[in-house]
């Protein structure tokens, strides 16, 4: 990454350029683009007898809708510029997929692998107290979720701590999403971002005319895929793509790049990886110590699913993938993006593609506020209704409907089916909106069109308010 790289500047630049293409006034652009507020907290935690001081941030980008929403990241690289950029991405992402939230993001400067679970719990609870005290966590105003270095368990600690601080808040469980199902979470959230990446790619690869100029053939089957980052998002993206017939040939992790041109068995490799969180000693693969070289390996689809700023003007000229699917936030810098576009590489942008996580977080938040699981009240009723319709058909036809056909009438969906269908619908509709806007305004690329769509939707809110 170049020394002058500013993630938030990158996000602002592309937002401003895209908003201008929609003829949005400079006043409204300025109102939207800046981060509304950001807190930095420094707090001590006693671990093994000594006091360690931790630094964390939570940035709120736009409160045009409340609550504001966005993950909490635990990583040593976390800094204020990063959380501000990520919070802006959250505002735009939510607008694109019509999730009625503003944008936020948090981060704690910590290497989570250096602490055991008990220590992480203590640190997380202390961080939660700091943010709750300042109203940077609440079901009505500011709702975190998992991101790099955090997971469902971290969210359970946050929810529990918040509940003990605000026992009178009947909606306390909605103060955070991405919780374990047993603690008020929703089925399908853990894998939602990866599943959303899959739905986005599936929809894109169905658009024969759109992808043809990039030399990309329709369909997922047989496509070769390289993934950077084998955590939550990378693993689930790989898994769903493999299930649909893609060949995952390369995985770039923190400590190296593994390659098998004939394709991995994702589940098997993931099991091995989890033993040490390393790709170094995985058998029967080619191993390269220089992880970043993995991004340059020839493939149909390259999926950066780790950090921002991974493809810049430095390595973009050497990228050989036909399609880059940005599962991570901000993996391609503005300068890198320009080079990819000039090379004719299609980029499916983060601000749309990884929105599956927040979409299902929205469903979880609704579940927490309504205090009932999706399907609990009407599943049986729907099932009975469906069966009656089938019986009626059988009566009219005077013969039984073959069981393989009857089974396809999946009446009475359970929570996971409801969530996954809502996610699929959201991801596919949003991509079509982006593609249509790109065509109608002759926009240069999907990223510009996605930001323009977000700008249009958020600007509408401000314009109505000042009528």
Ligand X SMILES: O=C(O)CCC(=O)C(=O)O
Ligand Y SMILES: NC(=O)C1=CN([C@@H]2O[C@H](COP(=O)(O)OP(=O)(O)OC[C@H]3O[C@@H](n4cnc5c(N)ncnc54)[C@H](OP(=O)(O)O)[C@@H]3O)[C@@H](O)[C@H]2O)C=CC1
| Interaction site with ligand X (CB under 6 A) | 69-71, 93, 145, 147, 177-178, 329, 354, 357-358, 361
Minimum distance of ligand Y from residue 196's CB (angstroms): 8
Please choose, from the candidates 145, 57, 143, the residue with its C-alpha nearest in 3D space to the C-alpha of residue 354.
145
How many Å from the N-terminal Cα to the C-terminal Cα in the chain?
44
Interacting partner of 70 out of ligand Y, ligand X, none (Cβ under 5 to 8 A depending on kind): ligand X
Q: At a CB cut-off of 8 Å and minimum separation 6, what does 218 contact?
A: 205, 206, 207, 208, 211
The residue within the footprint of ligand Y, chosen from 252, 295, 302, 446 (CB under 6 A), is: 252
Q: Out of 277, 318, 320, 371, point to the residue binding ligand Y (CB under 6 A).
A: 277
Among 32, 172, 307, 347, binds ligand Y (CB under 6 A): 307
- Under the binding rule (CB under 6 A), the answer on residue 228 touching ligand Y is yes
Among 193, 333, 359, 368, binds ligand Y (CB under 6 A): 193
Interactions with ligand Y, residue window 91-150 (CB under 6 A): 146-149
Among the listed residues 107, 144, 200, 229, the single contact to ligand Y using CB under 6 A: 229
Report the residue number, 142 or 329, with the smaller CB distance to ligand Y.
329
- Binds 152, which of ligand Y, ligand X, none (CB < 5 to 8 A, cut-off by type)? none
Question: What minimum distance in Å lies between the beta carbon of 150 and ligand X?
Answer: 10
Q: Tell me the C-alpha to C-alpha distance, in Å, between residue 450 and each of 32, 272, 307, 446.
A: 16, 37, 20, 6
Interface with ligand Y, residue 254, by CB under 6 A: yes
Q: Residues forming the annotated binding site? A: 69, 93, 193, 232, 361
Question: Between residue 71 and residue 90, which ones bind ligand Y under the rule CB under 6 A?
Answer: 71
The question of whether 105 is a catalytic residue gets the answer: yes
Q: Which is nearer to ligand X, 178 or 200 (CB)?
A: 178
For residues 213 and 444, give the distance between their C-alpha atoms in angstroms, rounded to a whole number. 13
Task: Give the residue, chosen from 142, 264, 357, 367, that forms a contact with ligand Y under the rule CB under 6 A.
Answer: 357
Task: Tell me which residue of 273, 271, 252, 251 sits closest to 263, measured CA to CA.
Answer: 251
Q: Which does 177 bind (CB under 5 to 8 A by kind): ligand Y, ligand X, none?
A: ligand X
Does position 329 interact with ligand Y (CB under 6 A)? The reply is: yes
**Residue 65's binding partner out of ligand Y, ligand X, none, with CB under 5 to 8 Å set by partner kind:** none
Least distance from ligand X to the Cβ atom of residue 302, Å: 19
Contact 356, 196 (CB under 8 A): yes
Contact 355, 99 (CB under 8 A): yes
Catalytic residue (one of 33, 42, 105, 122) = 105
* Catalytically active residues, by annotation: 105
Footprint on this chain of ligand Y (rule: CB under 6 A): 71, 146-149, 193, 228-234, 252-254, 277, 291, 305-307, 327-329, 354, 357
């Amino acid at each position: 990454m170049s020394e002058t790289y500013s993630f938030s500047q990158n996000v602002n630049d592309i937002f401003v350029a895209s908003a201008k293409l929609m003829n949005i006034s400079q006043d409204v652009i300025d109102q939207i683009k800046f981060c509304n507020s950001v807190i930095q907290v420094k707090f001590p935690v006693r671990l093994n007898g000594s006091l360690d001081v931790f630094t964390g941030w939570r940035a709120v980008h736009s409160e045009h809708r409340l609550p504001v929403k966005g993950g909490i990241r635990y990583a040593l690289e976390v800094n204020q510029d990063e959380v501000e950029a990520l919070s802006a991405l959250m505002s735009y992402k939510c607008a694109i997929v019509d999730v009625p939230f503003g944008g936020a993001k948090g981060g704690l400067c910590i290497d989570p692998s250096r602490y055991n679970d008990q220590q992480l719990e203590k640190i997380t609870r202390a961080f939660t107290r700091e943010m709750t005290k300042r109203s940077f966590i609440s079901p009505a105003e500011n709702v975190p979720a998992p991101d790099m270095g955090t997971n469902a368990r971290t969210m359970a600690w946050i929810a529990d701590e918040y509940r003990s601080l605000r026992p009178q808040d009947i909606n306390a469980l909605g103060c955070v999403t991405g919780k374990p199902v047993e603690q008020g979470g929703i089925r399908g959230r853990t894998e939602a971002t990866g599943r959303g990446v899959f739905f986005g790619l599936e929809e894109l690869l169905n658009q024969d005319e759109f992808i043809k100029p990039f030399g990309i053939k329709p369909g997922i089957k047989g496509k070769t895929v390289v993934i950077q980052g084998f955590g939550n998002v990378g693993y689930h993206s790989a898994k769903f793509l493999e299930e649909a017939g893609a060949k995952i040939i390369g995985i770039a992790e923190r400590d190296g790049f593994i390659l098998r041109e004939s394709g991995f068995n994702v589940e098997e490799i993931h099991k091995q990886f989890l033993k040490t969180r390393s790709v170094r000693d995985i058998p029967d693969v080619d191993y390269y110590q220089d992880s970043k070289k993995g991004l340059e390996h020839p493939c149909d689809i390259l999926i950066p699913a780790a950090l921002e700023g991974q493809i810049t003007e430095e390595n973009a000229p050497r990228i050989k993938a036909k399609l880059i699917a940005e599962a991570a936030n901000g993996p391609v810098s503005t300068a890198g993006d320009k080079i990819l576009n000039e090379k004719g590489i299609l980029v499916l942008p983060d601000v749309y593609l990884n929105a599956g996580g927040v979409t299902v977080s929205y469903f979880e938040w609704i579940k927490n506020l309504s205090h009932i699981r999706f399907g609990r009240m009407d599943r049986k009723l729907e099932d009975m209704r469906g069966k009656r319709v089938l019986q009626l058909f059988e009566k009219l036809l005077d013969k039984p409907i073959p069981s393989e056909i009857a089974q396809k009438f999946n009446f009475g969906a359970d929570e996971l089916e409801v969530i996954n269908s809502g996610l699929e619908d959201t991801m596919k509709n949003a991509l079509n909106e982006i593609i249509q806007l790109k065509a109608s305004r002759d926009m240069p690329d999907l990223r510009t069109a996605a930001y323009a769509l977000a700008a249009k939707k958020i600007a509408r809110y401000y314009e109505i308010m000042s009528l």
